[in-house]
Amino acid sequence: MARIKSKTEEASMDIPMTPMIDVIFQLMIFFMCSIHFKSLEGKLYSYLPKDKGMNMTVVTDPILDEVRISLVYNESKPPYLAEIKIGQQSIPDWDALKKQLATIWEGVDKTDVDRIIPFKIDPKSPKIPVQSIVKVLDICNEIGVRKVEFAAKTTQ
Amino acid sequence: MKIKKSTITENVGFNMTPMIDIVFQLIVFLMLASDFTNTDIQRVWLPEAFSAVEDKSPDATRLMVNVMHEAPFKQDCPQAKYDGGRLVFPCQIPEHWHIMIKGATYDQEKLLQVLRVEGDLDRERKNDPNSPSNRPIMIRADAGAPFGIIEKIMEAAGRALIWKIEIGATNPQK
């Protein structure tokens, strides 16, 4: 007797996963590479004066006052490696510097923009790390001082 | 006996999927690799500043001057220490610091030449090398870089009569 063939030849229901995985990987790589995260980098404007330094013009009406922030190299104070001074006065830390500069800035006569006294950053050693300089610049920006200068030695 | 003719036909069509995958992978790799070799940006840990403004639409002509740290033969530096991108102790070895523009190292003299050429492209009075240049530059220095190097770059910029200087910084991580 002929054996009746049972209905076992069902259509294969397996979904081929390989192309889907391939496409997903491609999309992942594409998005990973093209996505723009929120930019973490920023900048501080530090425009050089046009009429000072190498191309000096004669100053007929000099501004005699300035607020000099000195950074004295001290290796025992990482990561800034600097002792802070305003003029001759020692400042214990950055918060104190901010308070002190804010007080000075409050008392500055701001009526004539051209005659506002400059805040001068004076790194006493070339070894002072950039982070310290940027910290002072940052504090000046935060309290609203825009006229910040860098002290430098005159070179031939 | 009659031999049954074989009716089995082999599928000789190519499976294109793996080939397309590999081609895409290669394209992505080459796009990324070529981008990295010609980048203005070197890997540096920028100094932190609360008042740093986001560099949203930088001037396309801006020259990026990087100050990066690299010990000779890519050895580990005995001094520099960073923790999660934050400076812990800076390197004080002058030979480990390099002024770089587009991946090439420059000394102060060469940098001055480059800045003069750049400056000449946008002088306030055209064809007058003694007039100020409006070409901006960005100093993108590592947080631990000694200020002496920045001073050299600023001096070179001053000599080239470039006055628009930006200092790269990052907002502190919370």
State the pLDDT at residue B156.
92
Domain assignment of residue A36, yes or no: no
- Rounded distance between C-alpha atoms, residue A133 and residue B87, angstroms: 14
Q: How far is B117 from chain A (nearest CA, A)?
A: 17
Q: Residues of A near B (CB-CB distance < 8 A)?
A: 18-19, 22, 26, 29-30, 33, 39-50, 53-55, 78-79, 81, 123, 125-135, 137-138, 141-142, 150, 152, 155
Q: 3-state DSSP call for residue B168?
A: strand
pLDDT digits (tens, 9 = 90+) for A97-137: 999 999 999 988 888 887 888 899 999 999 999 999 999 99
Domain assignment of residue A72, yes or no: yes
CATH of the domain at A84: 3.30.420.270
Quickly tell me which residue has 């901010």 as its tokens: A98
Which of A19, A55, A129 is nearest residue B145 as measured by Cβ atoms? A129
Residues of chain B positioned with their CB less than 8 A from the CB of A125: 147
Among A31, A43, A80, A94, most B C-beta atoms within 10 A, so best to mutate, is A43
* CB atoms closer than 10 angstroms to residue A41: 15
Residues of chain B positioned with their CB less than 8 A from the CB of A152: 151, 154-155
In a structure prediction context, what are the per-residue pLDDT tens digits for chain B, which is 174 residues long? 566 665 666 666 777 778 778 877 877 877 776 655 546 677 788 999 999 888 888 888 899 999 999 988 888 899 998 888 888 999 989 999 999 998 889 998 999 999 999 999 999 888 888 899 999 999 999 999 999 999 999 999 999 999 999 999 998 876
User: Chain A within 8 Å of B22 (Cβ-Cβ)?
Assistant: no
State the pLDDT at residue A122.
92
Which of A48, A126, A131 is nearest residue B151 as measured by Cβ atoms? A126
State the pLDDT at residue A24.
79
- Answer with the residue of higher pLDDT: A156 or B72: B72
State the pLDDT at residue B1.
58
A148 beta partners: A119
pLDDT digits (tens, 9 = 90+) for A6-40: 555 556 667 777 887 888 788 778 877 776 555 56
Q: Label residue A154 by pLDDT band (50, 70, 90).
A: low
CB–CB of B39/B32 below 8 Å?
no
DSSP state of B133: B
Q: 3-state DSSP call for residue B54?
A: strand
- Answer with the residue of higher pLDDT: A29 or A1: A29
Residues of chain B positioned with their CB less than 8 A from the CB of A132: 147
Between chain A and chain B, the number of residue pairs with CB atoms below 8 A apart is 155
DSSP state of B82: E
Give the tokens for residue B147.
Answer: 């200020």
Domain assignment of residue A45, yes or no: no
User: Chain A within 8 Å of B109 (Cβ-Cβ)?
Assistant: no
Domain assignment of residue A32, yes or no: no
State the pLDDT at residue B85.
80
- Tell me what the pLDDT averaged over chain A comes to: 79
Partner-chain contact B49 A137, CB within 8 Å: yes
Per the structure, the complete domain to which residue A57 belongs is given by 53-150
Domain assignment of residue A124, yes or no: yes
Residues of chain A positioned with their CB less than 8 A from the CB of B86: 79
Among A45, A97, A134, most B C-beta atoms within 10 A, so best to mutate, is A134
Domain assignment of residue A116, yes or no: yes
Residues of chain B positioned with their CB less than 8 A from the CB of A47: 163-165
CA quadruple B39, B45, B47, B49: dihedral, nearest 10: 80
Q: What is the ipTM of this complex?
A: 0.76
Provide the domain count of chain A.
1
State the pLDDT at residue A28.
77
State the pLDDT at residue B2.
61
Q: Packing angle between helix B17-37 and helix A18-34, nearest 10 degrees?
A: 10
State the pLDDT at residue B132.
92
Which of B31, B67, B166 is nearest residue A46 as measured by Cβ atoms? B166
B93 CA to centre of own chain = 22
Residues of chain B positioned with their CB less than 8 A from the CB of A24: none
